[in-house]
Amino acid sequence: MIELGVNIDHVATVRQARRTYEPDPVWAAVEAHLGGADGITVHLREDRRHIQDDDVRRLRELVHVKLNLEMAATDEMVGIACALKPEMAMLVPEGRHEVTTEGGLDVRGQRARLREVVARLAGAGIGVSVFIDAELPQVEAAARIGAQVCEIHTGPYAHAFHSAGRDATSAPVLAELARIAGAGEAIRAAGMRFNAGHALNYVNVQPVAALPGVRELHIGHAIVSRAVFVGLREAVREMKRLMREGAARAPVAGG
């Protein structure tokens, strides 16, 4: 059954805007869990713009679903992950001037370094995911460095969906879905888990949830935005329902 990982970074963004103690990301994690989240995702950035070290420590101690730590492949972040031991560490590109992650990690161009990082994390008992664009050379490189999971960057799909009038049958949207599906097939053929995420929301999520073999979607901004109006628990519940409806229409995945 398809799973939902809820990214709660933007709860911390609101807190950091006032440099205060609320809203608390741990409270958000509990509410997300009660709404049906299968996991909690946070990105501990090098500049600490939203999630802070103490947030991750408290989440590791208190969250009862799996914790996915998004991180750059730096010695500092690897050390933090190895000490805290989240269930999953997701390696992502990181730029100081970007608003959010703007593209997939170039695994192919950093194979030697990333192979070392994956080995260190795996040695600490942490599963490793890589956030990549829907490109077959990146999938092949991910398999070579020992990643267990590939999360496909769905930003181009979401952009096409929005630009094409929210029409899931338009040619640009279908082309992006085909790219994601092709990458997913290659991921599963290589023995890795196929996840997806970035810019998914309540109107564009179902076609991605319906792709063959997709196991987990990571969604943050849309859920936190909806929570302003309906509460976080209900926002997660609504997203999980849409995902399950989409997945129920998926063809049976081979392999």
Domain total of the chain: 1
pLDDT in tens, the chain (255 residues): 999 999 999 999 999 999 999 999 999 999 999 999 999 999 999 999 999 999 999 999 999 999 999 999 999 999 999 999 999 999 999 865 655 567 899 999 999 999 999 999 999 999 999 999 999 999 999 999 999 999 999 999 999 999 988 999 999 999 999 999 999 999 999 999 999 999 999 999 999 999 999 999 999 999 999 999 999 999 999 999 999 999 998 776 554
- pTM of structure: 0.94
CATH code of residue 97: 3.20.20.70
Name the catalytic one among 70, 94, 176, 216.
70
* Per-residue confidence (pLDDT) for residue 103, from 0 to 100: 86
Contact status, residue 214 vs residue 184, Cβ threshold 8 Å: yes
Dist. CA 88–CA 85, nearest whole Å? 8
Name the catalytic one among 176, 198, 216, 218.
198
* Per-residue confidence (pLDDT) for residue 249, from 0 to 100: 87
- At residue 132, the 3 state secondary structure works out as strand
- Active site annotation includes 43: yes
Residue 9 lies in a domain: yes
CA angle 184, 151, 77 (to 5 degrees): 155
Q: Which pairs count as long-range contacts for 21-27, CB under 8 Å and 24+ apart, including other chains?
A: 25/51, 25/55, 25/59, 26/55, 26/58, 26/59, 26/62, 26/63
- Active site annotation includes 70: yes
**Residue closest to 91 by CA, chosen among 74, 76, 108:** 74
Residue 204 lies in a domain: yes
Residue 253 lies in a domain: no
Name the catalytic one among 10, 33, 43, 50.
43
DSSP structural state of residue 102? -
- Active site annotation includes 153: no
- Give the torsion sign (CA, 23, 104, 3, 209): positive
Dist. CA 232–CA 184, nearest whole Å? 30
Residue 254 lies in a domain: no
Residue 173 lies in a domain: yes
State the average pLDDT for the chain: 95
Contact status, residue 87 vs residue 126, Cβ threshold 8 Å: yes
Residue span of the structural domain in which 76 resides: 3-248
* Helix locations, 111-170, DSSP H: 111-123, 136-145, 155-163
